[in-house]
Amino acid sequence: MTKRKYIQVRWHGRGGQGAVTAAMILAEAAFEEGYQGVTAAPFFGAERRGAPVIATNRFSWKPIRTYSLVVQPDIVVVLDETLLEVVDVAAGLQPDGLVLINSAKSPEDFRFQEPFTVATTNASACAKEAGLIVSGAVISNTAILGGFAKASGLVSLESLERALAHHFKGDALERNRQGARLAFERTAILGECRLECA
């Protein structure tokens, strides 16, 4: 296992896809898991719908006093695989890091220069199946959190489901939990994520 002082996560999405919200929910899930230090921070460039957006997380078993943007992540989550053509999502990623991509493709279809662990989950299809559609758009940000739980092993599905209850109620909560569960079940991993928080 590769032990880290804290786990650093960077989210890549497009404006309107909910990367910032997903980072916030992941921070809450990490807290539910028992991590004492959790942070979630957005980074906006040109704030327009469809423009690339970054959000970051840190979590640790001990309190965190670092709030800067994550530049050397241990895990990268990609909400939209088309971003791979325009953004170097693996920039700064540790050699033993994990890349999780929202895609119908298998992890073997993605090539990176370093031997990262690569995982894919079709969060969009899972979200659609769970009824996570707003104004005709499929919202996959909460579903991919299930893929994060499965691929990383750092946060349990139970902690994630408790964190979702901070944001949703009733039928909306059940739909979001269902999307996360489906993505958890359908995540494919090439290699093994060996990251662990010291």
Range of 35's domain? Answer: 2-192
Does a structural domain hold residue 33?
Answer: yes
**What pLDDT is attached to residue 68?**
84
Does a structural domain hold residue 31?
Answer: yes
**What pLDDT is attached to residue 158?**
97
Cα–Cα distances (Å) from 183 to 33, 124, 144, 146, 167, in that order, read 19, 9, 6, 5, 19
**What pLDDT is attached to residue 67?**
81
Which CATH number covers residue 117?
A: 3.40.920.10
The model's pLDDT over 141-154, given as tens digits with 9 standing for 90+, comes to 999 999 999 999 99
Split into its structural domains, the chain has a count of 1
Does a structural domain hold residue 105?
Answer: yes
SS3 of the chain: CEEECCEEEEEEEECCCCHHHHHHHHHHHHHHHCCCEEEEEEECCCCCCCCEEEEEEEEECCCCCCCCCCCCCCEEEECCHHHHHCCCCCCCCCCCCEEEEECCCCHHHCCCCCCCEEEEECHHHHHHHCCCEECCEECCHHHHHHHHHHHHCCCCHHHHHHHHCCCCCHHHHHHHHHHHHHHHHCCEEECCCCEEEC
* pTM of the predicted structure, to 2 decimals: 0.94
**What pLDDT is attached to residue 165?**
97
In angstroms, rounded to a whole number, what is the distance separating the alpha carbons of residues 148 and 79?
11
CB-CB contact of 138 with 132 (8 Å): yes
Does a structural domain hold residue 198?
Answer: no
What is the block-wise mean pLDDT of the chain (198 residues), using blocks of 10 residues?
86 91 96 95 69 92 88 96 94 94 96 92 96 88 97 96 96 96 97 87
CB-CB contact of 27 with 40 (8 Å): yes
**What pLDDT is attached to residue 29?**
97
Does a structural domain hold residue 197?
Answer: no
